Structure 1
Amino acid sequence: MFTKQSLVTLLGGLSLAVAQTTTEEYPSLAEIRAAQATVQPYSPVSNVKGLAFNRFVNIWLENTDFDAAAATEHLPVLAKKGLLLNNFWAITHPSEPNYCASAAGDTFGMDNDDFHQIPSNVSTIADLFDTKNIAWGEYQEGLPYPGYQGYRYPESGANDYVRKHNPLILFDSVTEDALRLRQIKNFSSFYDDLENHRLPQYMFITPNMTNDGHDTNITFSGDWTWNFLSELLENDYFTKDTLIMLTFDETGTYEIGNNIYTFLLGGAVPDDLLGTKDDTFYTHYSVIASLSANWGLPSLGRWDCGANLFSWLAKKTGYVNYEVDTSNLYMNETHWGPLSDDDYSEYYAGWPVPTTDASCSAGNGILSTVKKTYEGLTATFNYTTPFPYDSRSGNNVGVKYSRTLKNGKVESGTSE
């Protein structure tokens, strides 16, 4: 936990970062039109070879229970072309904290879909990628121009693009960098980059609020997914050595466990796993950990640190994943923190401190910037567990986890 002095010091730095941010929740139409005429997308490319895949494509749909997704016409057919992750869990509710978690390894107490600007000394996956110059990009359907930071677009009428479904736009470390901002693009840029062979090695794809099922239903979003992916799966440039993940931000029912329908496709899925199911416990944090393990990147030192790796990738690294007893796990709330509305979690002004010296599942240490920023501070949570929990609020406590190492030693624990 924070000492009083460390909290004052850290918050002083955070205040400075926020003061330097000049974005607006609702920019004027004139500002939007001017930016549309002048701001150009930026499409860096790279070719850093990975241990198990050379490109990762993250596609998210909205608010659907596992069984509902499994009962659609198209999604199970697509899943059989790859690998179904039968035990993949979202982090919390509602939508935005899950998107935030996918980029920074934490929700920071977020229990809402508000307009957030997270201080620039909070690191993200963009910082991990930059350690090896791995090109990344986001493709957001309906985004009016690259790097648009408004709360939604259009600002009235039917929903289309929404900021809460755009992970990296939430972070000042991205929005304060002009090049990084221009890597957050719309779907027109996706097809331009595809045609011109300049897709990044990591991409996050968000359909609009109709196509992702948020304002329609799972039948509609399942049909969209089929139409979007069917042609792409025939494109050798897109699929070669590529791992494509289709998942959901969260379940639609808050009272049940937050287990979401998720599958992997693409040329990087091992042949012997095609058409099968993987019962390994995963979360959105497992994606960050697996990206780090695949490309030899460090950890953010947050909940990505102890997250399980994709099973065949874990075997390649020698890491042994944990088995998690999910009978007492729900993952429907988040821990306390500064982004809480004091509704579904507890508001607390202190930003959680990541671990700076743990041995994480990816095996590559902690990002140097994180170690420098939080030097001498004690980690707020036990980030080495395969799922997030908080003893203060009782969130996800009483859950057992264990693994048997190659030497026969059994490691086990209970979140408490």
Structure 2
Amino acid sequence: MKLNSIVAAAATTAVTAWAADSSSSRVERTYSTISPMASEIASAASNATTNHFTSNVTGAAFDRIVIVWLENTDYDKAAGQEDLKWLAQQGIVLDNYWGLTHPSEPNYIASVGGDYFALDDDRFIALPSNISTIVDLFDTKEISWSEYQEHLPHTGFQGFNYSNQDNFANDYVRKHNPLVMYDSVAQNETRLANIKNFTMFEQDLNDRTLPQYSFITPNMTNDGHDTNIRIAGKWSRDFLEPLLSNEYFMENTLVVLTFDENETYSIKNKVFTILLGGAVPDELKNTTDSTYYDHYSLISSPVANWDLPSLGRHDVDANVFELVANVTNITNKDVDTTYKLNNATYVGYLLDDQIALPAPNVTAINRNGRGVLQQVVDQWGDEYSAQMSASYFTSTTTTVSASVGDAATMTLAGNSSTLATSSATQGSNSTTHPFTSTGAGAVINALSLSSLIGMLAVFI
């Protein structure tokens, strides 16, 4: 039997045993779903307040960033779509950019909060207000921000979804709206007024009041979720091509066009991503950057660009776009992706209601040499250290506080959410949280795949 077959068989056996031992007693954390009636939505829309804040804080590599997310497409399929191929020629292809897990929702929340808190599905969630997001980092320098959500029924809408009122097809869904899923935004009326309908983008563009950070989500047709890559690619070009010739929009603007996750859960979770806009130098257009990035880079790159503090989570050591790293003296880390898949979650807060919210590492130093946001330090104190101690866990769990390498993330037994692992490698500035599990799976959790290979090699 070949080594990789032994590894797969051993891992599958161990984790299948763990799943049988622990999943039956695990209860997912749930929230009351907000589902207003059409009449209630109409009433709220008539009274909704919308902000049009703008600012002009100079960045090291760009002064404005516009992030656009598409849905559920394997890398090669996206790279081969004609409209996306045209857009790629106008910018930099990031051919080593990864989604973090499956399905969609955890990727969205991670891209603004630095963790997906063990979410393994697309249910209604409302993360507590003591979790800070990238918005809190922007506030330290009064950097303006907004979300633009296609077919959001009104500014600040917090409902689970909003269907097409003619045919009741999917249009807007909360799971693709990252910031509204954090109570630190949703329970703040001023911040909530920055969560806008997509039509407001055109208004802000024409009024020259675009914010310095925008997160744009097309509806479920145009992002490819309920259709295909041809529709998503065409929408992307139709939206972006006119902007690439708009002098106001292009002025030192960086556009990030990416996908939440790939479609095939059994392969590496790489997603096609392009950097576009006036911030991309002419000599870098139609080129490729093979540095490892993931959705946490959507926090670390703006943070490095504007020299901001960190959230103390996985944003701390996430690679920064080379476009930014080159002008901020940041050296990105090399990441071995040989055994990386990024298609499993870990056992934690949202997957098990008996596990506490993971604390940020308040002593961490980020890629641009800054510490953790002071309000995060004040909020969490030494909770991270307490969670890293064995006394934090109950006697029925196994503490895994050893380093869990990148190679440990794998799909097992056909279930992408079975294995409890981390996709971040521990170091001196680690943001890796201790994880708990019971039964045989704890053995796998504590080992990187490379360690497992070394152990099994003696039997060959």
Q: TM-score, normalised by structure 1?
A: 0.86
1:12 aligns with: none
**Aligned with residue 34 of structure 2, among 21, 25, 33:** 25
User: Which deviates more, 330-339 or 164-173?
Assistant: 330-339
Does the 8 A contact of 2:405 with 2:422 survive in 1?
no
Report whether the alignment pairs 1:334 with 2:360: no
- Which residue is equivalent to 1:195? 206
Compute the displacement of 1:272 (Å).
2.4
Partner in structure 1 of residue 379 of structure 2: 373
CA distance change for structure 1 residues 383 and 247 in 2, over 3 Å: closer, same or farther?
Answer: farther
Within the candidate set 88, 111, 122, 1:113 is matched to 122
Gaps spanning 5+ residues in structure 2: where?
Answer: 1-28, 389-400, 411-417, 428-447, 452-460
Taking the aligned partners of 1:398 and 1:109, their CA distance within structure 2 comes to 14
Note the C-alpha offset of 1:37: 1.1
Give the structure 2 partner of residue 134 of structure 1. 143
Distance of 1:146 and 1:389 partners within structure 2? 41
Give CA-to-partner distance per residue, 1:236-266, whole Å, 9 cap, x none. Answer: 1111100000000000000001000000000
- Taking a change above 3 Å as real, the CA distance of residues 349 and 66 of structure 1, as seen in their structure-2 partners, is same
Q: Which residue of 1 aligns with 2:87?
A: 78
Residue 151 of structure 1 corresponds to 160
Instruction: State the shift of 1:36 in Å.
Output: 1.3
Aligned equivalents of 1:35, 1:365: Cα separation in 2: 40
> 5+ residue gaps in structure 1?
1-17, 341-345, 402-413
- Pairwise CA RMSD: 2.8
1:364 deviation in Å? 1.5
| Number of matched pairs | 380
Higher deviation after alignment, 33-42 or 155-164: 155-164
Q: 1:385 to 1:305 in 2, by over 3 A?
A: farther
Which of 234, 246, 256 aligns to 1:223? It is 234
The CA deviation at 1:188 is 1.3
Say whether residues 1:395 and 2:421 are aligned partners. yes
Deviation per CA, 1:282-319: give whole Å up to 9, x if none: 00001101111000111111011110111132122222
Aligned counterparts of 2:171 and 2:138: Cα–Cα separation in 1: 29
Normalised by the length of structure 2, the TM-score is 0.78
Q: Deviations over 1:56-77 (max 9, x none)?
A: 0000000000000011111011
SS of equivalent residue, structure 1 residue 328:
coil
Distance change >3 Å, CA 386–CA 364, structure 1 → 2: farther
Is 1:37 equivalent to 2:63 in the alignment? no
Question: How far does the alpha carbon of each residue in 1:111-143 deviate from its partner, in whole angstroms, 9 at most, with x for none?
Answer: 010010100000001101111100000000000
Residue 351 (structure 1) aligns with: 357
Summarize the Cα distance change of 1:182–1:357 in structure 2 as closer, same or farther, 3 Å threshold: same
Report SS of the residue matched to 2:257: strand
CA contact (8 A) 2:405 2:423 kept: no
CA offset at residue 90 of structure 1? 0.6
Aligned residue identity for 1:63: N
Equivalent residues in 2 for 1:310-325, closer than 5 Å: 310-325=321-336
Amino acid aligned to 1:38: N
Contact 2:340 2:409 in 1 (8 A): no
Alignment correspondent of 1:161: 172
- Tell me how far 1:189 sits from its aligned partner: 0.8
Distance 1:227 1:53 in 2: 23
2:107 and 2:260 in contact (8 A); partners too: yes
Percent of aligned positions that are identical: 47
Secondary structure at the counterpart of residue 264 of structure 1: strand
